[in-house]
Chains A and B, each alone.
Chain A
Amino acid sequence: MVFSSHLFIFYFLPLALGAYYLVPRQLRHLVLTLFSYLFYGWSNPAFMLLMLVSTAIDYFCGLIIVSPTPWRPASLVPLAPGPRGPRQKLALWTSICANLGLLAFFKYGNFGIDAYNDLMVGLGFDSAVWDHFWRITLPLGISFYTFQSMSYSIDIYRGEATPLRNPVDFACYVAMFPQLVAGPIIRYHEVARQMRERSHTLERFARGVAFFALGMAKKVLLANPCGKIADTVFDAGARGLLDSWYGAFAYGFQIYFDFSGYSDMAVGLGLMLGFVFPKNFDSPYHSRSITEFWQRWHLSLSFFLRDYLYIPLGGNRKGQARTYANLAIVMLLGGLWHGASWNFVVWGGIHGGVLALERALAPRRWLERLPAALRVALTFTITTIAWVFFRAADLPAALDFLGAMFAIKATDPRADLLAGLLYQPYYLLAFALAAAVIWGCRDSWHFTRVLTPLRAACCLALLLLALAALTTQSYNPFIYFIF
């Protein structure tokens, strides 16, 4: 189920909110869990079982880490600092292996088959190709909830959080529908306190509505039309220089409004249910360097990778060479987290490389001497070029696209068809509006901090407009659903 669907907005959400607020307080997590499983199972009911298994493993691992008798834990308190015993290590690695195993099997199984097939074809053993091999269906949101679930065991192991005694509470944390399938990744220690106690106020609910409205408007009114531009250019067999840049920028706009819109909706829904989720986007296209970009883009993933991968690898504490290597590893794995494809590896590699370069150039400070606007433009251009790998169907397609962007490819007369499709007032207007919102407006957190009657009316009007557009559109993909 997606937030920007008729079913979610007009049926699921009223029922979920109604049930949540009507049942006694102690049953709210149960209600939320049931609705979350319904939300998740809507795409394929069989996947509910998978999530249940993942949840059960991590729940028991959490208990085993803190108590030698998990079936009868005496007291649940955070572990004191110090070395951990074999039982605790075994429980932690069971949790990590189970989650990464699920992720590897479902997300990278097909990648393995395809890589094997390509190798066989490359070697001339066409008959050895696994053409009829079982194709694995990727369960929605598995990258998000396995990471989230894994963070629970790690945080408990590190003594940063207390395990939950009630399995329903834990299932609720893992499955919570506002952020289940496309994040933000809510690490356990970030909401541990709220799982036990949180407040429900009118103001909080109202701000949640404002967040939700802005997120919906970003998604439906900006991301979707920009997505149409991007799809048309990326799916074309031939494209010229101008069209290629237009399409690449449009994709940059689309992915930002799509993902940050979803995150806004998730934050809004969380607030309606009393939860406060941390910020996931902080005007990333205002960044003046790639280093800054990663302090503003998909923050929940950035911090997850920093805390659970970069720092355990040694971070910047083990010398310059090791720091560069750590950055490259983190970004490559971050790329692979998005999907099993060489394109994501290259995308991660570009970001990792530029991060390392910026770190290397930092002492000379010559980048900082450039005008801010130029640095923003440069950073945006680099991210846009990297997005080409993120969006293209495969590596050859990405290189072909870059060839058109830099005019190093012969022009096909069919490329001129795109002009008739893309330079229509509707698309140009949406593109210009997207750019104006990105560089001319503050982010949703800032806009909703002071909700004057005018701003509230603006939110409701945007919501109405978005819903009107939603009912008449069938083009409604969420990019991060496939990750």
Chain B
Amino acid sequence: MHHREQAALEDIQTTRISRATAWTLVLGFLGLICVVPLVQVALDLRRGQRPVAAETTALVQNGLPKPAQLRDFETRLENRDFLREHLLGPSQALLLRLGAGNERCWVGRDGWLFYRDAVEYLGGPSFLDPVRMRARAQSQGLATDSVAAITAFRDQLAARKIELLVVPIPVKAALYPDRLSGRFADKARPLVHPDLAIWRERLAAEGVRVFDPLPVLAALRDHKPAYLRTDTHWSPAAVEALAAALGPQLGQARQPIAWGQAEAQVENLGDLAQMLRLPAGQRSVQAERVALRQVLAPDGSPFKPDPNAEILVLGDSFCNIYSMAALGWGEHAGLAEQLALVFGGAVDRLAINDGGAHSGREALARELASGHDRLAGKRLVIWAFAERELSLGDWRAVTLPDVAPPLAVTELAARTLEARIVAAASAPRPGSVPYPDGIIALVVASGTGERLLTYTWGLRDHQATEAASWRPGDSLALELVPWREQQAALGGFQRSELADAATLSLPAYWIKRATRIQTGESPAPSQAEKPVPVPAKVQSTASPLFAAAVAALPEREGCAAVLGKNGWCYFLPELQHLASGRYWAEAAPASHPGLAAEVADPRAAILDFKRQLDDRGIQLLLVPVPAKATIYPEHLPFTAKPGQMDGAFIAQLRRDGVEVVDLEGLFQAHRDKADLYLHTDTHWSPAGIDLTAQALAAKIGSLLPGRPATELKSTEHTIELSGDLACAVDGAKEQVVVTRVVVGGGKRAKPLAPDRDSPVLLMGDSHTLVFHAGEDLFATGAGLPDQLALRLGYAVDLLGVRGSGATTVRLDLMRRGDQCQGKKVVVWVFTVRELTQSAQGWARVSL
């Protein structure tokens, strides 16, 4: 035997350990490594999730798995880890105390946080060194030549007679090195990467205009914060200062606009603080408050990017902050807004969080490829991106295509279909990106072989979504809406695109709802695993099975209620509505046989009303209240599920330009948290009202920023009621908790009265009155107008009718005779059954 082996064997044989200690050590170790996975599986099952570990057989279902599949499996296993869930926050808090951040965030001095990539760029090696550029290109598969990419982009714009102005935005540490390192305490000069000057010279030699914001921000830093303490991004003051400095570069507006301004304040914990993943309730990092100068149109409505503007702001999250509410720092006060203010004209914005080197150019190319000429009328493109992109970004070439002919109308319509995933972009790993939300692209093929580019959430609130696990080969039931309709709201989110440029020319859709019905790699997941409970198969027409089931229901004299399971009662006309087929446009007369053709079409009436409001500069928010059976089909006395005709109608209205508040999606997402409808009544419950009020308040808040608010109080009361469907359960009662909203305190407290002078008019059927009007509507001070006022901080005007929310309410509005003077927003609430079951129909009413 060899010496080393002999020595090792002898050493091991002389181990001195008592049997009790040995057993303790072995059992402790085995217990630890076995208990953790068992607990994880038990927790997964208890939460109704399929354990990730159970997917191992699926990995080898189609032969040897690919490395990416194995990485993905391992990542999901780690992300689901309960130990991580419980230990991450406390350990991160401990590390913070010791001055360490994590892989994304460095901890500076005096509570300042820094984005690690940005600091590493600033203090890092040359980004223009050809050897390093080639090494990075090879190891990361990226294009690294920023000068070539920018020059090519400039050339393509120049061919369209558009100028390019490049604005590299300095990293925070460049302005605040003293907040990172004590060695800078007595040095006031900002830090600059030595390659930056060479880079600017090279661009200048190519004739590309570059604006250096550093002197502007450095001057600002002396008297105001130029960057946020806990966030990667700059301060509102920095945005305003840069916009002012850029003013001379913008030229004269062809159509001047006298923008207004409003002051607002916002308090938030920055993205860097959130990246630290500290435990809830931590006090180590404090939220910060900033003052915004919001930009308003002459009519007082907030700034909106104008696709026909002369100037386009292209960029990343530095262009979205203070514009995109999802970033948490308020709206209507970002770079495009401030530039518009300085310019005195309209400005367009196309900004996508992250990937400033390429994502904006790609989004622009996609717009052109899909037939939307975003460059029409432009004379200047301001491309602002984080300077760190020069070292870290992917500077891939993007060819701006000729504007494609507009897609056919059928391609732009909302649609439901079953499709198979052909290609899927990888969702960013939670914690690996600075943003809480991210969108992923999927190419799907329908049964007929048609290919569509679809988008959905891959990351929400720093958590991977179910869609992030979808893989090519999975089959999905999809409800799609055209991407164009969602672009304004979702286009700024970080998007993981597919590398294949050919996907740019595919029709693009947003996945409104999806169900994985078959996976290419594993058995279908349990219902509980799906993020939003939706019918197993989405249908594009009314369900014949459902219609047959409704038709078979016995009619009871004097009682239109249908008794379902578990004490739930449904309104028969509402079920009959859900059984109907297409009911608008050319199908309207046939679907409303008892009505004259001119009052049969709800779409025509709604569009007419919208047009009248548009003429008066009033924003219409349409709020169709979903049918109880759509949200809670499982309590129906039969198993057939309703069709999706209301969804198709709403999608049509959106294409017509009507702003529809999607209560169906909202209710589906929250249906298991509380009963959103009363069991024995046709109306929604206080929980349903509360959700609706939240959604409306957010919408109205963004439309009417900066309004003074009154402090209102709320108290909770339990009431017992017997609803208008209780005849099906022999008058049985149910208990609900209502939230009464009052003004004043103590004995002087009283419900808040509607305000006729309010800029917001809430109109509609009895859904606006239930829990507000008292008597047969159960309570006062706790209905939708009250909850809305509570959230807005001021009373709304109310026009509610116990009868039809379709025509009667508009007639009442006409009878007011004031032509909606002083109103800015009209919220029109009605139950969807009115769309087919309204006795008066949908007459056009002139205001």
The answer to whether A427 has its CB under 8 Å from any CB of chain B is yes
Is the CB–CB distance between A236 and B11 below 8 Å? no
Chain B residues positioned under 8 Å from A271 (CB to CB): 12
Give residues 437-476 of A contacting B (CB, 8 Å).
445, 448-453, 456, 459-460, 463-464, 467-469, 471-472, 474-475
Given known A-B contacts A44-B67, A420-B182, A463 and B29 have beta carbons under 8 A apart: yes
The answer to whether A235 has its CB under 8 Å from any CB of chain B is yes
Give residues 403-420 of A contacting B (CB, 8 Å).
412-420
User: B4 to nearest A CB, angstroms?
Assistant: 4
Chain A residues positioned under 8 Å from B181 (CB to CB): 416-421
Is the CB–CB distance between A10 and B37 below 8 Å? yes
User: B607 to nearest A CB, angstroms?
Assistant: 53
Number of interface residues of B (CB under 8 A): 79
- The stretch of A92-100, A174-182, A185-193, A250-258 that contacts the partner chain: A185-193
State A475–B46 Cα separation when bound (angstroms). 31
Inter-chain residue pair count (beta carbon < 8 A): 204
Chain A residues positioned under 8 Å from B78 (CB to CB): 6-7, 471
The answer to whether B611 has its CB under 8 Å from any CB of chain A is no
Give residues 338-385 of A contacting B (CB, 8 Å).
none
Is the CB–CB distance between B8 and A278 below 8 Å? yes
Chain B residues positioned under 8 Å from A449 (CB to CB): 11, 14-16
Is the CB–CB distance between B26 and A236 below 8 Å? no
The answer to whether B638 has its CB under 8 Å from any CB of chain A is no
State A456–B24 Cα separation when bound (angstroms). 8
Chain A residues positioned under 8 Å from B182 (CB to CB): 419-420
Is the CB–CB distance between B173 and A417 below 8 Å? yes
> Which single residue of chain A is at the shortest CB-CB distance from B74?
A7
The answer to whether A209 has its CB under 8 Å from any CB of chain B is yes
Chain A residues positioned under 8 Å from B16 (CB to CB): 449-451
Is the CB–CB distance between B88 and A472 below 8 Å? yes
Chain A residues positioned under 8 Å from B30 (CB to CB): 14, 17
Chain A residues positioned under 8 Å from B34 (CB to CB): 14
> Which single residue of chain A is at the shortest CB-CB distance from B95?
A426
Contact with B along A271-310 (1 / 0, CB 8 A): 1000011110000000000000000000100010000000
Is the CB–CB distance between B191 and A429 below 8 Å? no
Number of interface residues of A (CB under 8 A): 79
User: A6 to nearest B CB, angstroms?
Assistant: 5
User: B194 to nearest A CB, angstroms?
Assistant: 7
Chain A residues positioned under 8 Å from B119 (CB to CB): 417, 421
Is the CB–CB distance between B21 and A451 below 8 Å? yes
The answer to whether B25 has its CB under 8 Å from any CB of chain A is yes
Is the CB–CB distance between A414 and B122 below 8 Å? yes
User: A127 to nearest B CB, angstroms?
Assistant: 15
Chain A residues positioned under 8 Å from B183 (CB to CB): 416, 419-420
User: B64 to nearest A CB, angstroms?
Assistant: 4
Partner of B126, one of A41, A237, A276: A237
Is the CB–CB distance between A426 and B177 below 8 Å? no
- The stretch of A75-83, A199-207, A315-323 that contacts the partner chain: A199-207
Is the CB–CB distance between A460 and B100 below 8 Å? no
Given known A-B contacts A276-B9, A278-B8, A468-B87, A203 and B22 have beta carbons under 8 A apart: yes
Contact with A along B1-33 (1 / 0, CB 8 A): 110110111011011111111111110111011
Is the CB–CB distance between B83 and A468 below 8 Å? yes
State A44–B108 Cα separation when bound (angstroms). 40
Partner of A205, one of B21, B26, B28, B53: B26
User: B756 to nearest A CB, angstroms?
Assistant: 57
Is the CB–CB distance between B91 and A468 below 8 Å? yes
Give residues 218-239 of A contacting B (CB, 8 Å).
235-238
The answer to whether B98 has its CB under 8 Å from any CB of chain A is yes
Is the CB–CB distance between B98 and A277 below 8 Å? no
Is the CB–CB distance between B177 and A416 below 8 Å? yes
State A472–B30 Cα separation when bound (angstroms). 22
Given known A-B contacts A44-B67, A202-B19, A206-B25, A464 and B5 have beta carbons under 8 A apart: no
User: B153 to nearest A CB, angstroms?
Assistant: 23
Is the CB–CB distance between B126 and A472 below 8 Å? no
Is the CB–CB distance between A193 and B1 below 8 Å? yes
State A9–B34 Cα separation when bound (angstroms). 9
Partner of B53, one of A11, A43, A190, A237: A11
The answer to whether B99 has its CB under 8 Å from any CB of chain A is yes
The answer to whether B107 has its CB under 8 Å from any CB of chain A is yes
Give residues 118-139 of B contacting A (CB, 8 Å).
119-120, 122-126, 131, 134-135, 138
Given known A-B contacts A278-B7, A424-B107, A237 and B125 have beta carbons under 8 A apart: yes
Chain A residues positioned under 8 Å from B26 (CB to CB): 202, 205-206, 209
State A203–B21 Cα separation when bound (angstroms). 9
User: B1 to nearest A CB, angstroms?
Assistant: 7
Contact with B along A1-40 (1 / 0, CB 8 A): 0000111011101100100000000000000000000000
User: B69 to nearest A CB, angstroms?
Assistant: 10
> Which single residue of chain B is at the shortest CB-CB distance from A300?
B4
The answer to whether A128 has its CB under 8 Å from any CB of chain B is no
Chain B residues positioned under 8 Å from A209 (CB to CB): 25-26, 29
Given A45-B67, A236-B120, A417-B123: 16 more A-B contacts, CB < 8 Å = A6-B74, A202-B23, A206-B22, A207-B15, A413-B191, A418-B123, A418-B181, A420-B108, A421-B106, A421-B119, A450-B16, A451-B17, A453-B24, A456-B24, A472-B91, A474-B431
Binding site for B on A (CB under 8 A): 5-7, 9-11, 13-14, 17, 41-46, 131, 135, 189-191, 193, 202-207, 209-210, 212-213, 235-238, 271, 276-279, 299, 303, 393-394, 397, 412-421, 424-427, 429, 445, 448-453, 456, 459-460, 463-464, 467-469, 471-472, 474-475
22 contacts between A and B (CB under 8 A): A6-B74, A6-B78, A10-B36, A45-B65, A202-B22, A203-B17, A206-B15, A235-B125, A237-B124, A238-B123, A279-B4, A413-B191, A417-B119, A419-B183, A420-B106, A420-B182, A421-B119, A427-B100, A449-B16, A463-B29, A467-B83, A472-B87
Closest 3 CB pairs of A and B: A420-B181, A424-B99, A426-B98
